[in-house]
Amino acid sequence: FVDVAGNEPLVIARGGYSGLFPEGSPDAITLAQDISILFCNLQLSKDGGAFCITGSTLDNATTIEFFDPKESTYNIDGKDVKGHFSVDYNSEQISMNVSVVQAIFSRPSAYDGLDPILNLDSLLSTKNPPRFWLNVQNAAFYQEKGVKVEDIVLDLLNSYRIEFLSASDMGFLKSLSQKSNNTKVVFQLLNAKDVEPSTKKPYESVIKDIATIKSFASGIIVPKDYIWPIKADKYLGLPTTVVADAHKSGLEVYASGFANDFFASYSYNYDPTAEYLQFFDKGECVDGVITDFPSTASNAIFCFSNNNTLPKKGPTLVISNNGASGIYPGSSDLAYKQAIDDGADIIDCSVQMTRDGIAFCSNSSDLGPDTNAMTKFMSRSSKVPDIQPKSGIFSFDLSWSEIQKLKPHIVKNGDFQRNPANKSSGKLITLQEFLKLAKTKAVPGVLVNIQNAAYLASKKGLDIVDAVSSALKNATLDKQQVLVQSDDSSVLSKFKDNPSYKRVMFLSEKIGSVPKKTAEEIKKYADAVNVPKTSVIEVYASYLYRLTDVVKELKDANLTVFVRTLKNEYTSLAFDYWSDPNIEIATYIQTAMVDGVVTDFPGTSSRFVWSPCSDINNQFAILPARPGDLLKTIPAQDQPQAQAPLPPLQVANVVDPPLPPVSEASKPAETRPADDATPADDATPAADGPAASAATAELANCGLSAVAILVLATLLYRN
């Protein structure tokens, strides 16, 4: 795993750690300095001042409009561009009056306006300047405006240690290629249809003339889709030969446009590490990547490339959430097969019952959100307050033959569509089929989740506990760990006489603590507890606020702790995780010390726990976020007021009444004895059943605030 020169690929940070802090700000530079080369997009003032800001104008990433409301319009490379241009101001005006802001609205705004635009001379004249890459933007435009860009750049090259010089203007680079001393000259290609200024040809044509590029440059920067094109449906196409052709000619290749919080392709399943590995491990390795999140790129190189795994994984369990439900429809056969292929330690089945007594896997008894039941069985919609406040189409009102006609659907995570090519792929499977799959594929363990047992027994005449017990007994899972989960303590009590089963109590509500008495009460019914992730680490305005004592208090009672639900999408991640799901995983495992993670994307968590970097003592450990640390870096006026702690978990919240007997009168006709003539009355509104410990047992697992976008740096720790 090396580039064309036999070295590890370079990580090149655009403006420092610009995925969190404004481009070129001191914090952005400091966070990225040890793991990357600083990439500076050059803009020049009318008196030759050199500043680092991406783009043709100052508008997108600075406060220039507050200093000067008036805009100008200039023609740059054949296009009229309107805005505020650095060339209209002198160095002092820019340095003294203009500050940097975050250019991407979904990123933290708390650091906007705190620091001036980065001045090259001020940075590079310091005692320990960062490794530096100078990228000259719009050279011809500055020359037209009377700014001697060539002389300015040569002066910078002679005054400071600049390792790389690049530009998108071939003529400009040719004029400097013999004068650059030890600085590598790299030609930057822009979007395929954009026109190269000196040849007046589109870059998609220029790239075909490798020999000419080689005559004045040692490498090329290309947008990443030059290497791995994205098709119209947003999936990866076949790779091009750009890297191989360039390497054959002796040119290095640097791919640009990487950012954890930019959607790239459905092929990556919102996993930024998977995208980097596509450029490192698939085909010829690129020589470097230009990114807003340098730690993720660095971790991909040192922790995950070349299938870099431990001989034995760490102890933390990776537990699927309805299979690999981020990739295929949840609880479908394909989701379970994907979870197995992705290395899940435990695959899960939330058991639902059909009207005719068949146990099958589905996230909820309401089939509306996860299947096409609304179009197939709209007339069967009903309201069951014991289950949920809204109307639904419930599995216990349909026969298995009817449910088999349904197509499962992938559920979006907020506004993020998941794998649309397989939106309705796969089929729902029975509990028996699920257990057979687990046994055949030798999955280390299964988790069977039992919901609504009291209601099913008393109102529908369905014994879900017996259905699960019989299925597990008949499956003879002698080599698999079996976990039985429920939010109902009385359900868990039914399995206490089978010591080979591990009982898991599902806690649906967010809590801030677990008093000793409550933990001891849980221990009477369960061996483990499944808690929401925000009960473990509290979040405020997309920042990690504090670590609770929930895990410690449960472990003090000798209870195993699982946390749910981890997702890849950056909007599900607090800023402290830098839009990188690996950092969230590391935080729950290393800081919160949980015993298992429940995830929509088992492959992401499995890759982490098998990586040498999951070991905190490894030279290249992926370090966890520390709750509260990032909050301390924002200005005092933006600091939150002290937040009241989440409520403690009380005994009354975990102890349920005994399960009612299975009502023969409520049984559907097809499940009752032949001489039982009592009619079923599915249309009758359900009366209130026994109180349940989870007030709303089947609320969907919410992600964190859809406001989140991420954070911080140097999770790559080096001794």
Residue 483 belongs to what H/E stretch?
strand 481-486
Q: Token pair of 32, please?
A: 């990225």
Question: Around Cβ 179, how many Cβ atoms within 10 Å?
Answer: 13
The Cα 639–Cα 152 span in angstroms is: 42
Residue 626 · residue 715 · CB < 8 Å: no
The dotted CATH code for 318-366+411-506 is 3.20.20.190
Structure tokens at 370: 């996860």
Q: How far apart are CA 76 and CA 56, in angstroms?
A: 8
If DSSP codes are grouped into helix, strand and coil, which group holds residue 453? helix
Q: Indicate the pTM of the whole model.
A: 0.91
Nearest to 640 by CA among 632, 652, 648, 649: 632
In the chain, helix, strand, coil percent, each to 5? 30, 20, 50
Q: What is the 3-state secondary structure (H, E, C) of 230-297?
A: ECCCCCECCCCCHHHHHHHCCCEEEEEEECCCCCCCHHHCCCHHHHHHHHHCCCCCCCEEEECCHHHH
Quote the pLDDT of residue 717. 35
Helix (H) or strand (E) holding 185: strand 184-188
What are the distances in angstroms from CA 227 to CA 13, 165, 237, 244, 245? 20, 22, 10, 10, 11
pLDDT in tens, 7-40: 899 999 999 999 999 999 999 999 999 999 999 9
pLDDT at position 213 is: 98
Q: Look up tokens 């950092």; give the residue.
A: 583
Q: Rounded distance, CA 409 to CA 398, Å? A: 18
Q: What is the pLDDT of residue 126?
A: 94
Query: Under a CB-based contact definition with an 8 Å cutoff, are residues 717 and 407 in contact?
Result: no
Measured distance CA(296)–CA(281) in Å, rounded: 15
- Which amino acid makes up residue 498? N
Q: Do 188 and 165 touch, CB atoms closer than 8 A?
A: no
Contact 316, 419 (CB under 8 A): no
Q: Using only the alpha carbons of the chain, give its radius of gyration.
A: 29
Beta strand residue intervals within 677-718, DSSP E: 716-717
CB 504, CB 596: distance < 8 Å: no
CATH code 3.20.20.190 for 10-57+101-304: yes
> What are the extents of the domains in the chain?
10-57+101-304, 318-366+411-506, 507-652
How far CA 19 is from CA of 32, 169, 298, 475, 570, in Å, comes to 11, 27, 14, 49, 12
Q: What is the pLDDT of residue 199?
A: 96
Residues of the chain whose pLDDT is less than 70? 1-6, 668-719
Distance CA 210, CA 218 (A): 11
Q: Which two tokens stand for residue 221?
A: 């920067």
d(CA 457, CA 686): 12
Measured distance CA(160)–CA(183) in Å, rounded: 10
**CA contacts within 13 A on the Cβ side of 338:** 26
CB 458 within 8 A of CB 421: no
For 357, 464, 468, 664, the CA distances from 661, given in Å and listed in that order, are: 16, 12, 16, 9
Strands 543-547 and 537-540, bridge-based pairing: antiparallel
- Residue of 145, 198, 125 lying closest to 167 (CA atoms): 198
In DSSP terms, 599 is beta-bridged to 320, 566
**Angle formed at CA 531 by CA 458 and CA 657, multiple of 5 degrees:** 25
- In angstroms, the CA 327 to CA 403 distance is 22
Distance CA 359, CA 423 (A): 24
Give residue 504's Cα distance to chain centre. Answer: 27
Q: Closest by alpha carbon to 708, among 568, 587, 605?
A: 568
Give the pLDDT score at 640.
80
pLDDT, tens only, 540-594 = 999 999 999 999 999 999 999 999 999 999 999 999 999 999 999 999 999 999 9
Classify residue 84 by its DSSP letter: -
pLDDT of residue 333: 98
| pLDDT (0 to 100) of residue 391 | 96
Q: What pLDDT score does 705 carry? A: 32
CA 438 to chain centre: 27
Burial class (CB in 10 A: 0-12, 13-18, 19+), 679: exposed
